[in-house]
Amino acid sequence: MSWTVVADVVAALCFLGGSLLALVAAVGLVRFPDLLSRMHAGTKPQVLGLILMVVGLALHLRRAEILGLLMLVVVFQMITAPVAAHMVGRAGYRTGRIRQDLLVRDELTIDLDAAHLHAQERAASGEDRGGHGSGRPDPARPDPA
Amino acid sequence: MLSAVMLAAAAVLVLRRVEAGPSVLDRVVGMDVLVSTILAAAVLYAAWTGRTDFIPVMVVLSLVGFVGAVTLARFVAAESEDEARILSPQEVAELEEQQTAVIDALDSAVSGVGDRRPLDAETHETGPGADEPRDGGAR
């Protein structure tokens, strides 16, 4: 058994794994109840599935000149997928599309409430001292947008 | 072959979510997964035919696929539960009836006003250019 046969078998396994991840993500996307869990399911083929498919392609074609482009595919996807996921999750939280009853732990809401309280206390004490610090922009205040 | 079947099934399921998704963001997540499914299909096609000219297409897809998600997520706004749902045909008919009633009322009011006096008589107080003389034919 030569090494090309081994490479082809490994490539086929990689293709099967990547496609299986895409299928699992689709099933999760249909069945999961809210935005965050759907995002969790959708991330699988975006990074791991794509890496598996690209490794399979590299093992199947076995040509040196395509390796750079395949690396670029993976690197671009690993750069852009977190940006998109961050923006979607942020927009979902800010427009109230996160189901609070499904969250095990919600540290962002706790932090935001604490920051509100802190800002109010600081504003009150600043008025007592003659308005010191009231002109500064408050970093603890959440962005209203 | 089995991989192609699994990818097709995944694409169909993702399309179901994109169609049914209760909010815009669910659809955005679905479209992201659809893009990565298409990427996987392109990889499979390149491996099947041995063509390497699909690989630049994959580079572009992986680079551009997130633009739509970021744009939609940036401009998505809070909407109430009532605005987000799709109206039933009966509600659409009621809404259209209300709108035509309002338009009819406006039409009759405007034509009644136009019959009684010329329009520049009432634009005198309001408009900034109201003191310019108008000819009677202008609305």
- Kindly report, residue by residue over A54-70, the tens digit of the pLDDT: 999 999 888 888 888 89
**Cβ distance A50 to B37 under 8 Å?**
no
Ramachandran category for residue B51: left, alpha or beta (phi over 0 → left; psi -120 to 50 → alpha): beta
Note down pLDDT in tens along chain B; length 139 residues. Answer: 777 888 888 888 888 888 887 778 888 888 888 998 898 888 888 888 888 888 888 899 888 888 888 888 888 766 655 555 667 788 888 888 999 999 999 888 888 765 555 555 454 444 444 444 445 444 4
CB–CB contact B55 A83 (8 Å): no
Report the alpha-carbon distance of residue A69 to residue B39 in Å, rounded. 14
- Judging contacts by C-beta atoms under 8 Å, the chain B residues touching residue A33 are none
**Which A positions 15-34 lie with beta carbon below 8 A of chain B?**
15-16, 18-20, 22-23, 25-27, 29-30
* Pairs across A and B, CB distance < 8 A: 160
Environment class of B26 (CB within 10 Å of its CB; exposed 0-12, middle 13-18, buried 19+)? buried
Are B9 and A26 within 8 A, CB to CB? Answer: yes
In the block, residue with structure tokens 């919600």: A106
Cα(A107)–Cα(A115) distance, integer angstroms: 12
A 68-87 → B contacts, CB under 8 A:
69-70, 72-74, 76-77, 80-81, 83-84, 87
Contact status, residue B47 vs residue A65, Cβ threshold 8 Å: no
Strand, coil or helix: A11: helix
Q: Measure Cα distances from A99 to A112, B32, B72, B84 in Å.
A: 17, 21, 20, 16
Give domain limits for chain B. 2-82, 87-126
The pLDDT tens digits for B97-135 are 999 999 999 888 888 765 555 555 454 444 444 444 445
Instruction: List, in order, residues 6 or more apart from B99 with CB less than 8 Å away.
Output: none
A chain contacts of residue B46, beta-carbon cutoff 8 Å: 57, 61
Confidence at residue B85, expressed as pLDDT on a 0 to 100 scale:
65
The answer to whether the Cα torsion of A28, A29, A31, A33 is positive or negative is: positive
